[in-house]
DNA sequence: AATCTTTTTGGTACAACGTACGGGAAAGGG
DNA sequence: CCCTTTCCCGTACGTTGTACCAAAAAGATT
C-alpha cells in the first residue's frame, strides 16, 4: 500500500494539459504556470510529476507518438515504411509544435521506442545493418518534419520570402522570375516520400557493398 | 551629414558578437545582455541596432549564410545543386545552432536570398515551374539540416536512444537486435544527397505531367 | 555663442519565466 | 495518538526580453 499523502493529479493529466495548450496556443505557451492552471493545480505541484520543463516536453512527444495505431507490417518494406511516414505526417499536422521539437531530441518513452521498433520491423526485409536502418529512419522522420514545416508555413516557399525586396532590386533575376510565374501545384507527399524511401534504401545498399 | 549623436557601434558588430556567442556557447547563450557585454555596450543599446532578439537571430542566419562563396554554376543542375548542398552542410557543421533555427524561419536578408537565387539558377536547366523549384530547394535544405542534426548528435541514432530501457524489456526485439549487432558505417552525405536531388526532381517532373 | 533638434546611450524597472525551498496537509503504520 | 512518508503549493530568487526616460553628443539654426 502506498504511504503518504495521495496524489491529487496524475502525470497523464499534466501531460494531457500540456499537449492541449501546445496544440491551441503553441509550444511557447506551455509554461509551468499555464499548464498547472489548466490542470487545476498550483504551479509547483507539477514538479511532483515532472522533473522539469524539458522533460515535460519529452513526455508530450511520447504522448502524441502514442496516438496513432501503426498499420500492420505486410512484408513489403517500401509500402510499410511509406504508411509509417504518412502516419507521421498526419501526426505532425495535428500537432504543429511537433516538427520543431523533434530535432536532436533524445528518444525516450514507450511510444517513441515503439515507433522506432515498428520502423525497424518494416525495414527488416530490406536487409541492412541495424544501425543503418536506424539512421535511415531518422532521416525519414527528419524529412517528414521539414516537409510538414513547409506545409504549415502555408505555401512552402512563396510566403516565406520577403517578396518586395527580391522583386524590387534587380539582384535576384531568377527569384524574381520564379515569384512572378505561376504554375506547379504542391508536390504530393506520398509520391515523394515513396521515392525517398526506395532511393535511400538503395543508396544504403550500394554503400554497404562498396564500404 | 547625419544628425544626432553618432553611433558607437555597428549592427555588424552586434551580429558578429551574437554569432560568436552562439558558436561557442550555443544559441541559448545568446541573450541581449551577453551579446551587449561582448560588444562592450550596455544591454539596451542593442535595441538601437536590432528591433528584438528574434530579428537578431534572423540577422545571424543571414550573416553566416554570407560566409561561403557558392561555386560557379556549370549548367549540370544535378552536380550544381549537390555542390550547393555540400556547402550548406559544411556551413551547418561550422555553426551547429543553424539547423535548429532554420525551421519555419522567414527568408530575409541579402545572403539568404542569394542562396535561394543561386539554387534557382542551378536548377534552371531542370525545367520546372518556379514555385516547384523553390519548394524543392526548401526540401533539400530541410534534409541537410536533419542530416547534420543527426551527425551532430554524435552517432545518428545509437546515442539518441535510451538503450537500457530498450534492451532490458523484451518489448522491442527489433530494436534490441539493431543495437546489439554492429556493422554498417555512416551513410555518406554526397551520395545520398545526390540521390535525393535526382529523385525529387524526377518526381516533380512526373507530377507536373500528371497534374 | 547659445539654443534647438535629432539621435544614441545605458540605467532603472517590470512582467514573465523556471524552479529552489520549506512549512503545512494528508495519508498509512506503529 | 504519533511518526513517517508523500504531496501541495505559497513565497522567493535569479534570469530573461524589453519599455521607458534622462542624460549625452552631435549638426542645424539663430
A77-210 CATH? 1.10.357
**Chain A hits for B209, Cβ within 8 Å:** none
Which chain C positions come under 7 Å from a protein C-beta? Answer: 5-12, 16-22, 24-29
Q: Which nucleotide is nearest to A49 (CA to C1')?
A: D7
Query: Would an 8 Å CB–CB cutoff place B101 in contact with chain A?
Result: no
**In this model, does residue A34 exceed pLDDT 90?**
yes
Query: Whole-number Å distance, CA B64 to C1' D21?
Result: 36
**Chain B hits for A162, Cβ within 8 Å:** 106-108, 113
How is chain A split into domains, by residue range?
A: 11-65, 77-210
**Residues ≥6 apart with Cβ < 8 Å to A23:** A94, A95, A96, A97
pLDDT at position B81 is 98
pLDDT tens by residue, A50-67? 999 999 999 999 999 999
Q: Which of B185, B136, B148 is nearest to A138 (CA)?
A: B148
Cα B54 to Cα B70: distance, rounded to the nearest angstrom: 27
Query: Would an 8 Å CB–CB cutoff place B195 in contact with chain A?
Result: yes
Q: Give the minimum alpha-carbon distance from A140 to chain B in angstroms, rounded to a whole number.
A: 9
**In this model, does residue A159 exceed pLDDT 60?**
no
A179–B130 CB contact, under 8 Å: yes
Confidence of residue B49 (pLDDT cuts 50, 70, 90): very high
pLDDT at position B207 is 83
pLDDT at position B123 is 97
Which cell is A167 given? Answer: 522583386
Cα A187 to Cα B204: distance, rounded to the nearest angstrom: 7
The minimal CB distance from A162 to the residues B108, B162, B204 is found for: B108
> For A11-65, which CATH superfamily applies?
Homeodomain-like (1.10.10.60)
In this structure, of A80-89, B1-10, B76-85, the range with the lowest mean pLDDT score is: B1-10
B113–A172 CB contact, under 8 Å: yes
Say if CB B96 and CB B48 are below 8 A apart: no
- Burial, B106: exposed, middle or buried (Cβ in 10 Å; 0-12, 13-18, 19+)? middle
Q: Which nucleotide is nearest to A8 (CA to C1')?
A: D7
Q: How many CB atoms lie within 10 A of CB A127?
A: 11
pLDDT at position B99 is 97
Confidence of residue A157 (pLDDT cuts 50, 70, 90): low
pLDDT tens by residue, B142-191? 999 999 998 998 654 555 566 666 677 889 999 999 988 877 777 899 99
Which chain D positions come under 7 Å from a protein C-beta? Answer: 4-12, 15-21, 24-28
Amino acid at each position: 500500500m502506498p504511504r503518504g499523502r495521495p496524489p491529487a493529479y496524475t502525470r497523464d493529466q499534466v501531460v494531457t494539459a500540456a499537449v492541449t495548450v501546445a496544440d491551441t496556443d503553441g509550444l511557447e505557451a506551455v509554461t509551468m504556470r499555464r499548464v498547472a492552471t489548466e490542470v487545476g493545480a498550483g504551479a509547483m505541484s507539477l514538479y511532483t510529476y515532472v522533473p522539469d520543463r524539458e522533460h515535460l516536453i519529452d513526455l508530450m512527444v511520447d504522448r502524441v507518438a502514442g496516438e496513432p495505431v501503426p498499420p500492420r507490417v505486410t512484408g513489403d518494406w517500401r509500402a510499410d515504411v511509406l504508411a509509417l511516414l504518412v502516419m507521421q505526417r498526419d501526426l505532425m499536422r495535428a500537432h504543429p509544435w511537433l516538427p520543431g521539437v523533434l530535432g536532436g531530441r533524445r528518444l525516450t518513452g514507450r511510444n517513441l521506442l515503439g515507433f522506432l521498433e515498428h520502423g525497424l520491423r518494416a525495414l527488416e526485409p530490406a536487409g541492412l545493418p541495424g544501425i543503418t536502418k536506424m539512421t535511415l529512419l531518422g532521416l525519414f522522420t527528419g524529412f517528414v518534419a521539414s516537409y510538414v514545416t513547409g506545409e504549415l508555413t502555408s505555401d512552402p516557399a512563396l510566403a516565406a520570402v520577403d517578396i518586395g525586396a527580391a522583386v524590387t532590386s534587380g539582384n535576384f533575376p531568377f527569384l524574381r522570375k520564379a515569384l512572378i510565374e505561376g504554375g506547379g501545384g504542391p508536390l504530393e507527399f506520398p509520391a515523394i516520400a515513396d521515392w525517398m524511401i526506395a532511393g535511400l534504401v538503395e543508396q544504403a545498399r550500394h554503400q554497404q557493398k562498396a564500404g
